[in-house]
Amino acid sequence: MRVREVRPGELPLLQEIERAAGAVFREVGMDWVADDEPFSVEELTAYLGAGLAWVAVDGADRPVGYLVAERIDGALHVEQVSVHPDAARRGVGRAMIEHLADLARAEGVPALTLTTFAEVPWNAPYYRRCGFSAVPEAELTPGLRLVRAREAAHGLDRRPRLAMRRDL
């Protein structure tokens, strides 16, 4: 699996990947997540401009998954990671997370963080297998508190969510 930087012309394809990946939330009664719109091209452009947007590509160099991150409280925060269902369960998500971890280590960044649904099998349980641990609410950094507040305002707290951290 090859991971590389996103190219500007691929941004609409990232939206398609996120829509397809989100559809699986219907299987666990979370239609409201499946129906949520992906990042806009403008939002994705900001991640691209910051050098914080990557894709996993197939043998034809076509994106099958993407990851965007931001810098929060000295860590690299996984803002979104999506894998097209046609490429799921093949290590695509893990390859992108490992790519980000390698970049973080090279920069001297001490950790990766993310927020996720606590009880969805391909969310928190998956990230635990990728080396992340739950961050207790009382230990959230100011930036992670802002992320959680933004998520709550967006309605994501309809199901339990948590912040996770992977020390590098």
- The first and second tokens of residue 9, run together, are 């012309």
pTM: 0.94
- 110: three-class secondary structure by DSSP: coil
- 57: three-class secondary structure by DSSP: strand
**pLDDT tens column, 85-97:** 999 989 999 999 9
Q: What is the pLDDT of residue 121?
A: 85
Contact 14, 38 (CB under 8 A): yes
User: In this structure, which amino acid lies at residue 157?
Assistant: D
Read off the pLDDT band of 159 (50, 70, 90).
confident
CA separation for the pair 149, 71 (Å, rounded)? 17
**pLDDT tens column, 27-40:** 999 898 999 999 99
Read off the pLDDT band of 155 (50, 70, 90).
confident
CA separation for the pair 65, 155 (Å, rounded)? 25
- The first and second tokens of residue 82, run together, are 């999506």
Residue with tokens 């803002």: 79
**Domains detected in the chain:** 2-167 (3.40.630.30)
CA separation for the pair 41, 25 (Å, rounded)? 23
Asked if residue 158 has pLDDT above 90, the reply is no
- The first and second tokens of residue 65, run together, are 């998954």
CA separation for the pair 152, 73 (Å, rounded)? 20
Instruction: Tell me the HSE value of 61 on the side-chain side, using a 13 A CA sphere.
Output: 5
CA separation for the pair 161, 30 (Å, rounded)? 13
End-to-end, the C-alpha distance of the chain in Å comes to 22
